[in-house]
Structure 1
Amino acid sequence: MKKFYCLLLLSILVFSCKPVKKVQTLNNAISKKDTVQTVIIKEAPKVDTLALINDMLDKVNKRKIDFTTFNAKIKVDYQGQETSQGATAYVKMKKDSIILIQVVGPLGIVGLQAKITIDSVIVVNKIDKYVQRRSISYINEVTQIPFDFYTLQDLLIGNPIFVTTNVVSYKPSNDHLLVLMIGTFFKNLLTLDNTDYKLLHSKMDDVDIQRNRTCDITYSNYEAKGNLQFATYRSVSVAEKYKLDINLDFKQYSFNEPLNYTFNIPKNYKAR
């Protein structure tokens, strides 16, 4: 059984001393040897951990990418239990509405198309000429992670996923900030850049100790896109009964441009 580790946050109270100069009466009634040196000890303000955490969460939320449409060309490397392959994926997305994915293999052959909405998934296999219609829970079955439409949307955009306000550990260093939070499904350890709060890594372990489900996501190769910071490389690794590794290398991407959302299913394709 996988052991779960938590970071501990220590609050340290700092005290400082300030000596007071010797005081003599105007009539010199008190001699120099009788002068009393008084020391006043002042307590430094306590570190307001809750305020620090709220400020951190606010900065993380402000870094989230907001958009209306998104378009991308992604080099995808996939390694599962029995297969390992590479392909190019073209993604079109309208926020909170629809995700269209077209996967192109060697020689420019379109192998798969998918249409994902808030409650459904349609997959068209162009090689074997069949179509699958599933509920959104199909993504859970494939990844073994409780993805819904909004989680998948954030993952593609590069926003943090499975983030909660239940922060149990907060540890700054010179370069990074480690934040451990516990949500419904996962203990999520975020690694943030300590200067601008860019998300660098997310390590998720199942809160259910009877399961061995984990998800690791690394965000890197950030580029400035207007006022946005976009991670052009993502490494995703999920595991429970078996391991699935996916690397996403964004070769082209754009935000908030008009997109065509056509999705056609050939009439001669069989349903599965």
Structure 2
Amino acid sequence: MRNILLVTTVIMAGIFFTSCRSAKKIQTAINKKDSSTVVITNPVVNDSALFVKQTMDTLKSKYIDYKTFAAKVKVEYEDSKGKQPNVTAYVHIIKDSVVWVSMYATIFNIEAFRVLITKDSVFLVDKINKEVQLRSLDYLQEITAIPFDFTTLQDLLVGNPIFMSDSLVSYRKTDDRLLLASVGQYFKHLLTLDTNNVVLHSKLDDVDITRNRTADITYDEYENKEGVNFSTFREITVSEKNKLDIQLKYKQYEFNKDLSVSFNIPKNYKRK
């Protein structure tokens, strides 16, 4: 079980959660005595309605849409026990169908895990211990207490903002930044954009203040290939009781190329 949790956490780049942080921090961050902060009390009649609509329309237009995605990712992560060995992950996504990941122990260049994720299942082949695990996606949500679904996982890997909500409650403009505060079903979300409405940072605080879950996701080193503005470097802080820091460096990536997915389960592997 430890392996499937570890691999799933790394694949999803953590999705969240830091203890000892108040869920009110999102409002504190956006209201730091700045007169340019606009609180949206009624976006239908408020003077800021047009600005909000234009900003949200622009964000949606920048959403990375694709049919397939392939990438080579260097993964560095550190948990409560310190810095862990680097992993190189090869990722294939056939949108809304399957996520395939092959993970190599970088220091030895040996494939350690192979993972296949569908809309309802997770298959894990542990090549180190010669074990196979099959779990439902719902089961992973239960044991990790993370409200992710297949779409969220895809968005996280390709660099789209996750847990986005149209329910903006306030925004703040500076000379070079725009901060948007929204509230969704699970999280309060503070999204930081540059002057071109490119996502720079995502801060998620749990709506349930008894959980104190938090995620910090930084998007950097953007490249634009074939019209896709893609963040090749991301830093993610995740934890609830224990902190986990993750860095994802995309060394190679391609959109909309023909992909094959191979997932064979050796007969002599122990099933768990």
Give the TM-score of the pair, scaled to structure 2: 0.83
Q: Which residue of 1 aligns with 2:47?
A: 48
State the distance in 2 between where 1:91 and 1:142 align: 24
Provide the residue aligned with 1:134 in structure 2: 135
Letter of the 1:131 counterpart: V
Q: SS state of the match for residue 150, structure 1?
A: helix
Tell me the equivalent position of 1:160. 161
The separation in 2 between residues aligned to 1:177 and 1:124, in whole angstroms, is 43
Aligned to 1:148: 149
How many residue pairs get matched?
237
Query: Which residue identity does 1:104 align to in structure 2?
Result: Y
1:69-148 correspondence runs (5 A): 69-82=68-81, 84-105=84-105, 106-140=107-141, 144-148=145-149
Give secondary structure in 1 for the equivalent of 2:147.
coil
In the alignment, what sits opposite 2:17?
none
User: CA separation of 1:207/1:47 partners in 2, compared to 1, >3 Å: closer, same or farther?
Assistant: closer
Which one has a bigger Cα radius of gyration?
Answer: 1
Q: Is the 8 A contact 1:139 1:147 kept in 2?
A: no
Q: Which residue of 2 aligns with 1:65?
A: 64
Deviation at 1:139, TM superposition (A): 4.5
1:178 aligned onto 2:208: no
Find the counterpart in structure 2 of residue 22 from structure 1: none
Structure 1 position 50, deviation (Å) = 1.4
Of structures 1 and 2, the one with the larger relative CO (CA 8 A, separation 6+) is 2
1:36 corresponds to which residue? none
Equivalent residue of 1:101, what SS? strand
The runs of 5 or more residues in structure 1 that have no matched partner are: 12-45
Deviation, 1:271, is 1.1
Q: Is the 8 A contact 1:120 1:134 kept in 2?
A: yes
Q: Indicate conservation of the 8 Å contact 1:77/1:247, yes or no.
A: yes
CA distance in 2, matches of 1:10, 1:98: 41
CA drift of 1:170 comes to 1.1
- Secondary structure at 1:75 match in 2: strand
Residue range with higher mean Cα deviation, 239-248 or 54-63: 239-248
The unaligned stretches of length 5 or more in structure 2 are 1-19, 32-36, 40-44
Cα contact 1:71–1:255 (8 A) shared by 2: yes
**Once superposed, what is the RMSD of the aligned Cα atoms?**
1.8
Distance of 2:223 and 2:68 partners within structure 1: 18
Rounded to whole Å, the distance in 2 between the matches of 1:247 and 1:132 is 26
Structure 1 residue 125, shift from structure 2 partner: 0.3
% identical aligned pairs = 46
Aligned-residue offset at 1:137: 3.4
**TM-score, structure 1 normalization:** 0.83
Matches of 2:194 and 2:181, distance apart in 1: 15
Check whether the contact 2:78–2:245 (CA below 8 A) recurs between aligned residues: yes
Report deviation, 1:241.
1.6
Q: Which stretch has the larger CA shift, 220-229 or 237-246?
A: 237-246
Distance 1:140 1:233, change over 3 A: farther
SS of 2:86's partner is strand
Seen in structure 2, the aligned counterparts of structure 1 residues 216 and 239 have a Cα distance that, compared at 3 Å, is same
